[in-house]
Structure 1
Amino acid sequence: MHTTQITLLPALKLSVEEARTLTISSERLEVLQVLIDYVQSKVKSGEELVLNFICTHNSRRSQFSQIWAQTAADYFGIPASCYSGGVEVTAFNERAVESIKRAGFRVSKKGEVNPTYFVFHSDDAEPVVAFSKLFDDAINRTNRFAAVMTCAHADENCPFIPGTENRIPVRYEDPKAFDDTPEEASKYDERSMQIASEMFYVFSQITSSN
């Protein structure tokens, strides 16, 4: 049985509770099981768990995934280092930033061109440092990690990722398709909550090595 290791920010706690009520299809459960197995193997062996969520531009889905995975790991007290990267540098998309704010994260910003965002899920933990970068950027771990491929384009066009122990496709639909439409905010929030639901499910399945 897991005991909560951090106290989530109040608004974020409500979002997490909502995300954990969402239904995950049997097809998605099958996809997530590969990630669960990798995480569990690391925890069981006592090895460092490092995940790098990779999408083409490191602007939306991979950022959501890094932030929610780190939040879930910290929530369940599972030591993990979650990163994200891409194959092109752009910026953490402002629509995605606004979505995580609506979810209850506290966010501060530094810089204007490809700004760095500090994303807090708790007063008890360090923030996630989020900005668009290549998957092998200096801030990321470059060996003994799992590359979690969050978009089809990066998965299909990046056949070799140096230093990875495992390559795990966990693809998500891109909310970019709804940019500048009346559905924009709701679709970004929908994707964020799907990722939250799945990352919390993954880490809820992990049993401690203790």
Structure 2
Amino acid sequence: MLRTETINTEHFFKSALENLKINENRQKLLKSIALFIAKQMQQNKKVNLNYICTHNSRRSQIAQVWSNYAANYFKFSEVKSFSGGTEVTALYRNTVKTLQEVGFTFQIVEFSHQNPVYAINYKNGINPIIGFSKLYDDDHNKKPFIAITTCDSADEKCPFIPEAIERFHLPFNDPKTFDNTLYQSEKYLETNKQIAGEIHFIFKTINSII
């Protein structure tokens, strides 16, 4: 069923965590990511998170947006979030749509038929999030960074990443499977919610440590 209403971003972020269902191994993984980030912060280091997926079009983009949102929500000014891929495609239109449904606004700042650059904003946001498909080592992505891969192919085929001070594999199901089906909007929103919930879990855990 097509959803047309816009959901409050903060409410979605909170409910995503409240309704999050993860197994013990997944929880350990999320906590290990949080612990590493917290240790970097405790050493007064700036933290750059780079979410990496093959095409940098869906899951890694959603993770970048929620990670930026979470850093602002918890007032972690030293944490910056980016995304990249092993190939350049585009920030896919269904990715844009599912984020718009939960209150993010998109403005094209550099037009391109193949790969437009967006300024992504949200209520109480300080600076816009810049969204476009790029390689993980693009100049836009600050270095050094913590690499967080979000899809299976990225884990299996990801090249050596010398800029990464640490690497975690946090896979999510690809909503691309449901493109052009009746379940498209629903499945993208499910992925959106899982990523929001797990990012919230990570940042809330960091907040409890530092």
The two structures have a TM-score, normalised by structure 1, of 0.90
Relative to structure 1, the CA distance from residue 188 to residue 209 in structure 2 (aligned partners, 3 Å threshold; closer, same or farther) is closer
Please state if 1:65 is matched with 2:66.
no
Measure how far apart 1:159 and its partner are. 3.6
Answer whether contact 1:78 1:208 (CA < 8 A) is retained: no
C-alpha distance after superposition, 1:151-186 (max 9, x if no partner): 111111014112110011111110000000100000
Partner of 1:181: 181
Distance 1:209 1:19 in 2: 21
CA distance in 2 between counterparts of 1:181 and 1:152 reads 23
Alignment equivalent of 2:43, drawn from 42, 45, 57? 45
Alignment CA distance shift 1:209-1:45 (3 Å): farther
**Contact 1:89–1:133 (CA under 8 A) maintained in structure 2:** yes
Percent of pairs with identical residues: 35
User: Paired residue for 2:127?
Assistant: 126
Q: 1:106 & 1:190 partners in 2: Cα distance?
A: 19
Give the Å deviation of 1:20.
2.2
Query: Any idea what the Cα deviations from partners look like across 1:103-158, whole Å, max 9, x if unmatched?
Result: 11121123132001111123441011000000011101232x11001111111101
Using the TM superposition, name which of 187-196 and 119-128 deviates more: 119-128
Equivalent residue, structure 2, for 1:136:
137
Query: Equivalences for 1:1-210 in 2 at 5 Å?
Result: 11-25=8-22, 26-79=24-77, 80-110=79-109, 111-112=111-112, 113-143=114-144, 145-207=145-207
C-alpha contact 1:54 1:154 (8 A) present in aligned 2: yes
Task: Give yes or no for contact 1:55–1:86 (8 Å, CA) kept in 2.
Answer: yes
The change in CA–CA distance for 1:87 and 1:124 in structure 2 (over 3 A counts) is: closer
Cα distance change on mapping 1:125 and 1:105 into 2, 3 Å:
same
Query: Between Structure 1 and Structure 2, how many residues are aligned?
Result: 201
* Mapped partners of 1:72, 1:95: distance in 2: 22
Q: Find runs of 4+ consecutive structure 1 residues off by over 4 angstroms.
A: none
CA distance in structure 2 between the aligned counterparts of 1:125 and 1:95, rounded to whole angstroms: 25
Report the TM-score, using the length of structure 2 for normalisation. Answer: 0.90
Q: Structure 2 unaligned runs (5+)?
A: 1-5
Where does residue 3 of structure 2 map in the other structure? none
Contact 1:46-1:209 within 8 A present in 2 as well: no
User: Counterparts of 1:58 and 1:126 in 2: how far apart (Å)?
Assistant: 21
| Distance in 1 separating the partners of 2:198 and 2:29 | 10
CA distance in 1, matches of 2:199, 2:74: 11
**2:12 and 2:70 mapped to 1: Cα distance?**
12
Give 5+ residue unaligned stretches, structure 1. Answer: 1-8
**Alpha-carbon contact 1:69-1:199 (below 8 Å) kept:** yes
- Indicate the residue corresponding to 1:6 in structure 2: none
